[in-house]
Chains A and B, each alone.
Chain A
Amino acid sequence: MIERVLVLVYLAVCIGIGVYASRRVLGSGDEYWVAGRRIGTGVNAMAIMASLASGGSIIGVMGLAYSRGIPATLALFAGAVIGFPLASLLVARQLRNFGRYTITDFLAWRFPSPIVRLLVPLSIVVAFTVYIVAQLKAAGITANALLGISYESALVIATLVFITYVSIGGMTAITWTDVVQGVLILLVVVGTAVAVTARSGSPFELMRQATTAAPELGSLAGQSVSSYLGSFVIWATAIPVIPHIVMRVFTAKDARGARLSLNLAMVAYSVMILAAVLAIVPVGKLGFPALEDADQVFLKVMESEFPPIVRGIAVAAVLAAVMSTTDALLLACSSAIAHDLLGGLFKLNPGPRKLAALRIGSAWVIGALALYWALSPPELITRFYTAGVGLLSAGLFVPTIAGLWWKRANRLGGVAALVAGVAVYALTLTGLVDLGLAPIVVALTASTVAMVIGSLAGAADDDALLTAVAALHTDHQA
């Protein structure tokens, strides 16, 4: 009973924040998409951490480590951690200085073409719908396991709550809820890790016991280098371009705040992942060595080791992780449709009321689609959404980095790199083309080659555009 009350209170707080935020965001694009560009460094850091610390990062990371072993799992998440310095050093200052709303805005400005205006938002919608489905599964199995609510009911409740506060509260509501959610996630994961480690003496002793009982937990046996190298590369190249993180760069007060908040978020994220994988998973493997659904391991540990009130807080934390990511994903999808496609590609210029209706409507459509799909969810959610994120890395990483740092990059090169990255990733991931290498490695190579050939073959960009790009590298316009 007490678990359900805690979760209900938490959900009510989220909706309350959305309603409160809606009073000032619905009439303004700046307020709705980027929270008025006035988010402070500490708040932004916690919001970035919470956006990345998805249901996948709690339920999924432990499920992956349980089934595939800890080393391969750490490779995936170390990739994300390496992605933060890449983002901080290569894109944060420049994109913040650019001062628009989305990664599509930047790419369509740097490489002006209808193909960019169409393909980038479409890729975002496809990849993030997959990502949202994975998050919903995490919410459903958590509520089912710890609250006794049916999987389907949990999906519907969680989806209704986050769509409501995202659609009416925009980035302002997301930022406030993310801070609450980030604190909750950190406390539960790190607190659980400390509690279970204390009972075993030390992390090394815990690891030794678990790997003695289940040697596969600590090994890479049976896994090719390309499989875990692929996960590493996907996340390392995703962080600098993935829309729900890039939008956080746009919300920062200035370029310095954007960079510092990325670095601080990375610290919190690393601590959380290491606590989950090095402490909670070994306990789960020792206590429950033959789980059919590996994604259940965290829930089993909570169920067996802690009293009801702690389990209630844990459910709220997982829902927080799900919502803090899903709300940002949903806003990114909504911006891809309402801002990038309808406003950017089709040049619709609706009034404030119609624009607000478009934002709200697109959020509800994407949410409903994801909910329908999540009713028959995939296995191993981390691998599932990593494939979706790979599509974005493959298409966006090379054009973004080259567009900022290579003066010779031009429209033909940018379009070629985008198309080649997306097409080659899709072909290799589905097995239509098999070169024996990780799909992301093949796709990024193809994207780079396309960028070089296209840029050398095409006409150089206008001096005015190159001057404007160069100006992004200074802080004067922040």
Chain B
Amino acid sequence: MRRSEALALLFLIVFSIVSFLPAWREVQFAGMSLFGWLMAALMLISPLLMLLVFGRGGGGR
């Protein structure tokens, strides 16, 4: 596994762990728990980050 891939994976894992911290449960934005928005953000960030890493790495060759 290349360094950029490992870093991207680490970032996504850390983002996931931080998102599950209890602190975000009660904070609300536009009527929804911040935890929900963090999950939605994760669903967008994850694919875009992986495509970026894949593209910069020459498509994993």
Seen from chain A, the residues whose Cβ lies within 8 Å of a Cβ on chain B are: 69-71, 74-75, 77-78, 81-82, 84-86, 88-90, 93, 204, 207-208, 210-212, 215, 217-220, 225, 229, 232, 236, 255-256, 259-260, 263-264, 266-267, 270, 273-274, 278, 475
Contacts and interface: CB of A to CB of B under 8 A. Distances in A.
B20 A270 contact: no
Best-buried of B1, B16, B30, B36 by chain A (most CB within 10 Å): B36
B46 A71 contact: no
Contacts of A218: 28, 30-33, 36
Given A88-B50, A259-B54, A225 B43 contact: no
Contact of B32 (A71, A260, A266): A71
B39 interface: yes
Contact of B43 (A220, A229, A236, A274): A274
**Interface pairs A-B: 9 shortest CB-CB:** A211-B31, A71-B36, A218-B32, A74-B39, A266-B47, A267-B47, A270-B43, A78-B39, A204-B30
A84 B49 CA distance: 12
A207 B37 CA distance: 12
Nearest to A282: B31
Interface residues of B, number: 30
Contacts of B33: 71, 218-220
A232 B47 contact: no
B9 A86 contact: yes
Contact of A74 (B5, B40, B60, B61): B40
Contacts of A207: 30-32
Contacts of B30: 204, 207-208, 211, 218
B17 to A, nearest CB: 10
Contacts of A266: 46-47, 50
Contacts, number: 108
A81 B20 contact: no
A260 B42 CA distance: 19
Contacts of B18: none
A82 B40 contact: no
Contacts of B25: 220
Given A232-B16, A260-B59, A267-B48, A78 B32 contact: no
A84 B50 contact: yes
A260 B28 CA distance: 36
A87 to B, nearest CB: 10
B32 A225 contact: no
Given A85-B9, A86-B9, A263 B47 contact: yes
A85 B28 contact: no
A270 B54 CA distance: 18
A267 B51 contact: yes
Contacts of A86: 9
Contacts of B5: 89
Contact of B39 (A71, A236, A259): A71
6 contacts: A74-B39, A85-B46, A89-B5, A229-B20, A263-B54, A270-B46
A85 B35 contact: no
Best-buried of B20, B25, B31, B40 by chain A (most CB within 10 Å): B31
A70 B36 contact: yes
A63 B57 CA distance: 40
Given A90-B1, A266-B50, 16 more contacts: A71-B33, A74-B43, A75-B39, A78-B40, A85-B50, A211-B32, A217-B31, A217-B32, A218-B30, A218-B31, A259-B54, A260-B54, A263-B50, A270-B43, A274-B40, A475-B61
